[in-house]
Structure 1
Amino acid sequence: MLNLNTLHFGGDYNPEQWDKEVWKEDIELMQRASVNLVSLGIFSWAKLEPSDGNYDFDWLDEVVELLHQGGISIDMATATASPPAWLTLAHPEVLPVNFDGVRLSHGGRQQYCAASEAYRTKAAALVEQIAKRYAKHPAVKMWHVNNEYGCHAPYCYCENSRKAFVSWLQMRYASLDELNTAWGTDFWSQRYYNWEEIVVPKRTPDGTHPNPGQQLDFKRFSSDVTLELFKMERDIIKKYDSVNPVTTNFMSMKFTYAMDYFAWAKEVDFVSTDHYLAQHDPLNHIDLAQQADLTRGFAGGKQWLLMEHSSSAVNWQPRNYAKTPGQEKRNALSFVARGSQGALYFQWRQGQAGSERFHSALVPHAGEDTRVFREVSELGAILKSMPELSQYPTNRAEVAMVYDYEQFWVMMQANMPTEDLSYPNTVAQWYRAMWELGIQVDFVQASASKEELSQYKLVLMPMVHMLSEQEEENFISYAQQGGNLVVGYFSNISSRTGRVKLGGYGGKLVKDVIGVYVEEFYPLRPEQELELSNGLKARMWSELSRANGAEVLASFAGSDVDGSVAIAKRKLGSSTAWYQGTELTEKSQKKFFAEIVKKLEIHSEGGEGTEVIHRGPFRFEINHLKNKVKVSRS
């Protein structure tokens, strides 16, 4: 498990990009900055194995010893994130094929198909060599498998992937008849009579799209087949090291969707993640908080580790704005307050060459006599001064929000009622409203048990489009047994196979429990804004609906569905369930939630630019308006 006796500070270290004379200077600067952990060898495959089966560890041995002598611990990477040129030349089938059937080229990173046997064989051989060599070294404190799985080429549409997909389907479905029913293949003559007839859902003729159920299953398969790569490397490491924990860095960012991190979290010894700000967004600190809280959700509320973020500007956004003075300290401590066991960066020293040469680092191009190095050194000293913080998880919230990668996947499909639907944007808007009210939020899956849900006073369900019968019953039971629930529009529309539930949209949860009968969707036109009957403002979405036992709090006006239910609630004994049948504007969403949390007497601290988070006996106050951070004992 993750070391609970210290806070980690450091980042990715790439000594192979520098002459040896720089290495000793690096150690001295790391000591000055209070660095105590570096991730080593992440992209070193070509350097460690210059040709097939010819390994060279001399340079890495030297770096490992220098770090050990300098008191710097190592997060040892397996170097499998970018196959070397000799491998893709000898085995071009390693390279992934995209949605249009084009095989991608060597020269970037993650240029591999997760179903490629050639890649798996050579990656396994490399990991075997690294684990055997460094498993017992006292400087190695954890293991870093691959890097940011699924970030660049999460889906491969080659023949190897097709065969693997079919095998995955055969394990998921008892028969072809069951698959045909799940996918609804009688539409467009898509029925399959032989497993070999099944294709991967790549480009189809213009104006058409692959089967929705097939698309959904392919995304499930892609996450699973990639997870098998991680498990393969993890299990090799465990043969040689049964003590130190093994992880891989997730990508907790708003529009990162390819891997189901809730499923992945069950396979790592501890959750770690990378996060990079959209610096152009003046409220990016709220997105940071959301993704940190989401990562804590992956970790089941336990401590986790921020494996990468930036000291200043990144290099891959349209306009790469630098962080302002004091911003990085606020960013890093917000992560720590929300459960991270420290703050690590990409990368230690800013590169001179390569496509990330303008990405910020702890040591910038201008060297250590810089604002960035001074500020990160101050942060390192702060983290070093409070190691006891690491023993405490972030305190549980009173409010939970449902987040589910399969909802993300199904909402990405074409032919929805409007192309303006955005699962991540709706989740972010609901979260932002709570953040500005000073309400802490935990994240749970749509598959959360009744016991998990019962720990929260209020559960929010923004656009939870698919629910199984059991999942729906869990939320109904939660609401009927004292839990308070807010269900968003376009929720509980289909089963987990994507088949629409009949008899009124929203299923039993909306129609019978909350008591709103939804007949038809009426998406609003771009830029159209409605003022509801209670003064709140709505955009993008309206519905033809009527009360079916619910108390109507707001109805649509000035629309094609005047008088239909926009917002409703129903008392369920000691609890209340609300239905929000539209997308409210940001101000209206905040006002609607403010009324609910006041009624439920949910604890609020901070808000309006300031966040207050409790982690055990520690209280963090971070003022994003006045550039101040305060950490104290409660």
Structure 2
Amino acid sequence: MKQLNPLDELRLGVCYYPEHWEESLWEADLLRMKELGFSIIRIAEFAWAIFEPKEGRFSFDLFDRFLELAAKLEMKVIMGTPTATPPAWLTHKYPEVLNATFEGVTLQHGLRRHNNYSSPKYRELSARITLEMAKHYADHPAIIGWQIDNEFNCEVSVFYADADHIAFRQWLKEKYDTLDALNKAWGTVFWSQTYSDWEQVFLPRPTAVGYQPNPHQALDEKRFISDNTIAFAKIQADILREHAPRHWVTTNGMFGHLDNHRMNDELLDFFSYDSYPQFSTIFYDANEQNPLADRGWSLSLSAVRSISPNFAIMEQQAGPGGWVNRIDMPSPKPGQMRLWTYQSIAHGADMVLYFRWRTATFGNEMYWHGLHDYDNRPNRRVREAGKVGSELAAIGDRIVGSRFQADVAIVRDYDNEWDGEYDVWHGPYSWKSGKEWFKALQKRHIPSDVVYLRSHTTAEELKRYRVLVYPHPAIMRDETAAMLEQYVWAGGTVIFGCRTGYKDERGHCYMRPLPGAAAALCGIRVEEFTKLNGNRKPALMQWKHDGGPVTAAEDFNDILEVTASGTVEVMAEYASDYYAGKPAVTRNTFGGDGVDGAETGAGAVWYYGAVFNEDAAGQIIELMGLRSPAADWAELPAQVELAIRAGASGMLAFLLNYGEAAAQITLKKPMKELLTGTTLSAGEVELEPFGVYVLEIG
């Protein structure tokens, strides 16, 4: 049973590894943490070999001594189950627990996450170590919660051990019941792939051209991995609920092939995330125009918020990062670490732990720096964390439990994400378009959420948003289209891009005019389409307002024909290539009675016949008349992010300056700034480089 409001106070803390350090350091470390305003630490998520040094022999002495000290110093603790790092005795004696590559090569002991979730032996041993730890620590006064495993599906998110093929086959039997149903769902009549015995069915395996599986098999593969991972996590969650019922349960990370929403709903008290904003800068597309850099990490935090409106950050970047042989993140500049901490809090984090207290002196992560460097001396990052600690001690009760506020949501769903990994005719577009929309909204200081549509999502749930941006949902069920139509009749606006609605949930293309399931909703037909690559340059589209600005219609073009002429307005036409003059952007207007018969204003469905760029998103924002919620009280420069949280203590605006130069802000009225406790006068005020304001606005 889930706890009520487990994040009942805003906590700041740090990850700590007592097994890495001489015991003589422990007390001094904890005392210094308390001086910085830290009240919570995470431990033990990689310590299986400490807890069970030999099979069936359990040892709690080291962590008992540390936890006794933590309790004495009134430091709260999150205990991790250590199943991300099976010990050497386990993988040596039971090699069937190891994962395998797509080619069937067994992964060996030596890093982490080299196990598979399907092995009955690994499930048995994982349950046993969890049970022993839960019984031993159920009543410990220092422990308040548990982190299950660590970063499910990090490093590796595909599994091809013998046990996985067997488990996949069983999963398919439960899903389809008969081979006839499976053959129909996978379209195996194509290329003579028809199965006549269940023993012929496997996860994708190498083909004549490497990874080239049946596309419907590949989609089911991702669904299986998600279900299998959740089933593995459930073993531990059930044990903790039964044997440590006073503690909350979470897990961290947001990695591939995992329905985190379902896992959170069924297993967790809240979701946790690991926040490293510089991943946005080291893995960005070098060809991207006007990249948001570390500010772009706010889009990732928005996705976390869709899982758990109030969440925890189990690892907040605290220094330069890198493994010995990969990843190379520079040191945060003065002020950036504090900025990133408030970035997490502004987006819904009610608990933030820095990774880590002190940089490891050995191992693969000895360049993944923590607050302290190897010399263990105070430095500017430690002082910065202390400043955050003192600020949150003063205002944390004003923030905790409040919720992020947005009228616009960028919509995603797992089926399209997973199908799009393999299908290059829509997959690459959703991330690009979502990012460009986020960028356009950010620059205009319009906060946005990320929402995942699920099979049980209702129009009523979506009514809190004025606008839904659903860029390229190739897979769309008729039920989803009907639900979105309800939302639009209630006054909402949905914005689609090209490649919408032409597949069913199996990944089969509809034998209907495109955009398939969304055709009636959009009031159009896709007359023709073309992918743009090689020597086929992006077409141009000309908008039919304000003198006809021109936008590049990138990557893919749907050439449109209006079918609902009474309600559809052509907003832009193609201005180049053989389809010049044809509709490129349309708006279908709805009105009348809304959901439950309520009288509403007009809703609308936009169809944009290409992949979005920032300019195109900006054109639609202007045409819809979307305004920043700050418009009545401030003028904000583009380099500043606006985030708003509201709760019982009122409404707070977080202003985050990602620039290396001071930002000039014009306030239209005096406003209380909570971090300094001062009132800012109306007129121009300056926000320092990487600075943060938390303003009281209601």
Deviations 1:593-615 (A, max 9, x none): 2322x1x5674555612122222
Distance 2:473 2:558 in 1: 17
Q: How far apart are residue 96 of structure 1 and its match?
A: 0.3
Distance 2:426 2:239 in 1: 47
Distance 1:238 1:571 in 2: 50
Mapped contact 1:10–1:345 kept (Cα < 8 A): yes
Give, as a single letter, the amino acid of the residue that structure 1 aligns with 2:345. V
Match of 2:557 among 535, 538, 542: 542
Give, as a single letter, the amino acid of the residue that structure 2 aligns with 1:556. Y
Give, as a single letter, the amino acid of the residue that structure 2 aligns with 1:557. A
Distance 1:165 1:450 in 2: 34
Cα distance change, pair 121–218 in 1 and its aligned pair in 2 (3 A): same
**1:595 aligns to what?**
623
The yes-or-no answer on 1:236 pairing with 2:239 is yes
Mapped contact 1:8–1:37 kept (Cα < 8 A): yes
Distance 1:130 1:305 in 2: 23
Match of 1:612 among 642, 663, 670: 642
Moved more, 96-105 or 522-531: 522-531
Q: How far apart are residue 190 of structure 1 and its match?
A: 1.3
Give, as a single letter, the amino acid of the residue that structure 2 aligns with 1:632. L
Distance 2:223 2:377 in 1: 46
Give, as a single letter, the amino acid of the residue that structure 1 aligns with 2:312. L
Mapped contact 2:444–2:628 kept (Cα < 8 A): no
Matches within 5 A, 1:334-353: 334-353=343-362
Distance 1:260 1:520 in 2: 34
Q: How far apart are residue 417 of structure 1 and its match?
A: 3.5
Mapped contact 2:55–2:90 kept (Cα < 8 A): yes
Distance 1:343 1:391 in 2: 12
Q: How far apart are residue 553 of structure 1 and its match?
A: 1.5
The yes-or-no answer on 1:431 pairing with 2:447 is no
The yes-or-no answer on 1:622 pairing with 2:656 is yes
Cα distance change, pair 208–41 in 1 and its aligned pair in 2 (3 A): closer
Distance 1:271 1:154 in 2: 19
**1:258 aligns to what?**
257
Cα distance change, pair 538–319 in 1 and its aligned pair in 2 (3 A): farther
**2:335 aligns to what?**
326
The yes-or-no answer on 1:553 pairing with 2:568 is no
Distance 2:580 2:644 in 1: 45
**1:585 aligns to what?**
613
Deviations 1:210-244 (A, max 9, x none): 11111111111101111111110111112222121
Give, as a single letter, the amino acid of the residue that structure 2 aligns with 1:168. W
Give, as a single letter, the amino acid of the residue that structure 2 aligns with 1:613. A
Distance 1:44 1:601 in 2: 51
Give, as a single letter, the amino acid of the residue that structure 1 aligns with 2:493. N
Cα distance change, pair 495–594 in 1 and its aligned pair in 2 (3 A): same
Matches within 5 A, 1:393-412: 393-412=402-421
Q: What TM-score do the two structures reach when normalised by structure 2?
A: 0.86
Match of 2:452 among 445, 461, 466: 445
Q: Secondary structure at the match of 1:621?
A: strand
Give, as a single letter, the amino acid of the residue that structure 1 aligns with 2:100. V
Give, as a single letter, the amino acid of the residue that structure 2 aligns with 1:592. I
**1:270 aligns to what?**
270
Moved more, 185-194 or 553-562: 553-562
Give, as a single letter, the amino acid of the residue that structure 1 aligns with 2:417. F
The yes-or-no answer on 1:53 pairing with 2:56 is yes
**2:524 aligns to what?**
516
Q: How far apart are residue 334 of structure 1 and its match?
A: 1.6
Distance 2:186 2:581 in 1: 36
Give, as a single letter, the amino acid of the residue that structure 2 aligns with 1:610. V
Cα distance change, pair 318–591 in 1 and its aligned pair in 2 (3 A): farther
Q: Secondary structure at the match of 1:533?
A: strand
Runs of 4+ in 1 over 4 A off after TM superposition: 604-607
**1:576 aligns to what?**
604
Cα distance change, pair 38–501 in 1 and its aligned pair in 2 (3 A): same
Mapped contact 2:433–2:612 kept (Cα < 8 A): no
**2:514 aligns to what?**
505
**2:164 aligns to what?**
161
Q: How far apart are residue 193 of structure 1 and its match?
A: 2.2
Deviations 1:345-386 (A, max 9, x none): 221211000111111212222433211111111112222222
Mapped contact 1:5–1:391 kept (Cα < 8 A): yes
**1:87 aligns to what?**
90
Distance 2:166 2:155 in 1: 22
Distance 1:545 1:101 in 2: 46
Q: How far apart are residue 508 of structure 1 and its match?
A: 4.0
**2:221 aligns to what?**
218
Match of 2:127 among 111, 124, 127: 124
**2:99 aligns to what?**
96
Distance 1:582 1:632 in 2: 39
Distance 2:414 2:296 in 1: 17
Distance 1:422 1:364 in 2: 41
Moved more, 215-224 or 192-201: 192-201
Deviations 1:221-280 (A, max 9, x none): 1011111111101111122221211111122xxxx4321112212121111111222244
C-alpha RMSD of matched pairs (Å): 2.0
Q: Which runs of 5+ in 2 are unaligned?
A: 285-290, 544-549, 592-601, 663-689
Q: Secondary structure at the match of 1:250?
A: coil
Distance 2:399 2:172 in 1: 43
Q: How far apart are residue 287 of structure 1 and its match?
A: 2.2
Mapped contact 1:537–1:584 kept (Cα < 8 A): no
Cα distance change, pair 184–520 in 1 and its aligned pair in 2 (3 A): farther
Q: Give me the identity figure in percent.
A: 29
Deviations 1:454-512 (A, max 9, x none): 22111111112212221111112212332111112112121111011222221242x32
Cα distance change, pair 215–181 in 1 and its aligned pair in 2 (3 A): same
**1:184 aligns to what?**
187
Give, as a single letter, the amino acid of the residue that structure 1 aligns with 2:603. S
Distance 1:418 1:343 in 2: 36
Distance 1:632 1:438 in 2: 15
Moved more, 228-237 or 194-203: 194-203
Cα distance change, pair 143–349 in 1 and its aligned pair in 2 (3 A): same
Cα distance change, pair 128–564 in 1 and its aligned pair in 2 (3 A): same
Task: Give the aligned length.
Answer: 623
Match of 2:10 among 2, 7, 16: 7
Distance 1:604 1:205 in 2: 57
Q: How far apart are residue 390 of structure 1 and its match?
A: 4.6
Cα distance change, pair 418–239 in 1 and its aligned pair in 2 (3 A): closer
Q: Secondary structure at the match of 1:23?
A: helix
Q: Secondary structure at the match of 2:403?
A: coil
Distance 1:585 1:422 in 2: 10
Matches within 5 A, 1:452-467: 452-467=461-476
Q: How far apart are residue 63 of structure 1 and its match?
A: 0.6
Cα distance change, pair 128–601 in 1 and its aligned pair in 2 (3 A): same
Q: Which runs of 5+ in 1 are unaligned?
A: none
Give, as a single letter, the amino acid of the residue that structure 2 aligns with 1:262. H
Give, as a single letter, the amino acid of the residue that structure 2 aligns with 1:572. F
Q: What TM-score do the two structures reach when normalised by structure 1?
A: 0.94
Give, as a single letter, the amino acid of the residue that structure 1 aligns with 2:525. Y
Distance 2:615 2:571 in 1: 17
Q: How far apart are residue 545 of structure 1 and its match?
A: 3.0
Mapped contact 1:446–1:464 kept (Cα < 8 A): no
Distance 1:422 1:18 in 2: 47
**1:631 aligns to what?**
694
